Amino acid sequence: MNAKGQDIQRLMRKHLVEVATYSGVDPSEELARSAGISPDEVIRLNANENPYGAPHEVVEALSGLTLHLYPDPEQRRLRKEIAAYTGQPVERVVAGAGGDEIIELLLRLFVEPGETVIDCDPTFGMYSFSARVAAAELVSIPRRDDWSIDLEAIAYAAQNSAKILFLASPNNPTGNSVTEREAIQLLEMGLIVAIDETYYEFSGNTLAHLIGDYDNLTILRSFSKWAGIAGLRVGYAIGSETLVRHLIDIKQPYNVNVAAEAAAITAMRISRRLLERADSLVQQRRRIERAIDGIPEMSYYPSEGNFLLCRFERKQSRQAYEELARRGVFVRLFSHPRLEKCLRISSGTPEQTGKLLEALADIA
């Protein structure tokens, strides 16, 4: 690094100089290049994306948009549609640029530098990443062997003045959900409980009905997976009126752009068809489960999402990852020590599942 570079780093906030880039998924061209195959051979089962793509109604809704005017900072139309879709009053919903932005807004609202944020490890990496960016203290509480949460350890951290807990349900990558009983125990601890229901449309389970009883509950949702618009970045939070009002107050005024807004509204209008697609992805996950049942060297953890955490008994995950990649199948590899024999596989179309199963039979 030259002297100039060091100079500006000295001026940066110290905790941010050390933050490493979040490792998101690479574009298909990059995956193809790394595996030495052509981009059209890539089967992307590594980001829990919707393999059916955006529905044509959504694509059509994007043409003819008024692009020279700012979107509505109060998100009136979008929030009204989300309220109808979720059965919540409009005062209890606010949208963000993906669930990712909601995570950041919650940290901005609740967490001072040095205050404690809890997640239950292994889990979605954006909680710890965003906590680091917020200069928060992260307490990562290990899940038990069956990936259930450790309520006692969370209670201990909560008593030691933790501000907020992020809990994905179903959890990415383990696939299991939190029970209502566990959630109530967490809520009774008094900290902010952010239940991340990004995979709600696949699991069918929600805790949103508890919001009237618990002001400290907030639910995160996303349009990325079930609605097939991950590229447009739309998510939302459901919470008490007070919580939502403050989230609206502190968000960037135009955080959801006009294309994202139009796409999300259209997706909700055709939700019945999109939910059928979500069901078909659950069917594909079950097909993968059945196939793995017949492979002695492999097992999986029960999942309620559009993905499955698989385990290889006699292989390290990196080897399995590379063998699958050579066959054009890209899945999610983790560096986490508890996942060194595991890969997370997203549900694909029936054709993609067919190719995945052939590849698995080949390498197992």
| Footprint on this chain of ligand PLP (rule: CB under 6 A) | 48, 98-100, 124, 168, 172, 196, 198, 222, 224, 230, 235
Min dist CB 175 to ligand PLP, Å, is 11
Q: Which residue is nearest to ligand PLP (CB)?
A: 98
236 vs 291, which CB is nearer to ligand PLP?
Answer: 236
- Closest approach, Cβ 178 to ligand PLP, in A, equals 12
For residues 224 and 284, which CB has a smaller minimum distance to ligand PLP in the complex? 224
The residue among 55 and 363 lying less far from ligand PLP, judged by its C-beta, is: 55
Between the CA of residue 192 and those of 39, 110, 112, 185, 196, what are the distances in Å? Answer: 44, 8, 14, 12, 12
Nearer of residues 201 and 364 to ligand PLP, judged by Cβ: 201
Nearer to ligand PLP, 142 or 190 (CB): 142
Q: How far is the CB of 30 from ligand PLP (least distance, A)?
A: 18
* Closest to ligand PLP by CB, 50 or 224: 224
Residue (81 or 196) nearer to ligand PLP, CB:
196
**Residues counted in the chain:** 364
164 residue type, one letter: I
Residue 97 or 191 having the CB closest to ligand PLP: 97
In three-state form (DSSP H/G/I as H, E/B as E, the rest C), the secondary structure along the chain is CCHHHHHHHHHCCHHHHCCCCCCCCCCHHHHHHHHCCCHHHCEECCCCCCCCCCCHHHHHHCCCCCCCCCCCCCCHHHHHHHHHHHCCCHHHEEEECHHHHHHHHHHHHHCCCCCEEEEEECCCHHHHHHHHHCCCEEEEEECCCCCCCCHHHHHHHHHCCEEEEEEECCCCCCCCCCCHHHHHHHHHCCCEEEEECCCHHHHCCCCHHHCCCCCCEEEEEECCCCCCCHHHCCEEEEECHHHHHHHHHHCCCCCCCHHHHHHHHHHHHCHHHHHHHHHHHHHHHHHHHHHHHCCCCEEEECCCCCEEEEEECCCCHHHHHHHHHHCCEECEECCCHHHCCEEEEECCCHHHHHHHHHHHHHHC
Q: How far is the CB of 235 from ligand PLP (least distance, A)?
A: 4
